[in-house]
Amino acid sequence: MKLLLTSGGVTNASIRDALVELLGRPIAECTALC
């Protein structure tokens, strides 16, 4: 299980791109627990 904790979301483009690469699918297709 991979977790990323953010308080204000991911606004930095390079961090967002790295997150998509780690997830292996678009962020919109992932489930978030808040």
Q: What is the DSSP string of 1-34?
A: ------SS----HHHHHHHHHHHTS-GGGS----
- The number of beta carbons lying within 10 Å of the beta carbon of residue 32 is 8
| In a domain? residue 3 | no
Q: Is the pLDDT of residue 4 over 70?
A: no
Domain that residue 22 falls in: 9-34
Q: Is the pLDDT of residue 21 over 70?
A: yes
From CA 28, how far away is CA 34, in angstroms rounded?
A: 15
Tally of structural domains, the chain = 1
Q: What is the pLDDT of residue 2?
A: 66
Site of tokens 């297709």: 29
Rounded mean pLDDT, 13-31: 86
| In a domain? residue 1 | no
This prediction's pTM? 0.54
Q: Is the pLDDT of residue 30 over 80?
A: yes
> Which structure tokens are listed for 18?
């790295």
Q: What is the pLDDT of residue 5?
A: 66
Rounded mean pLDDT, 1-8: 67
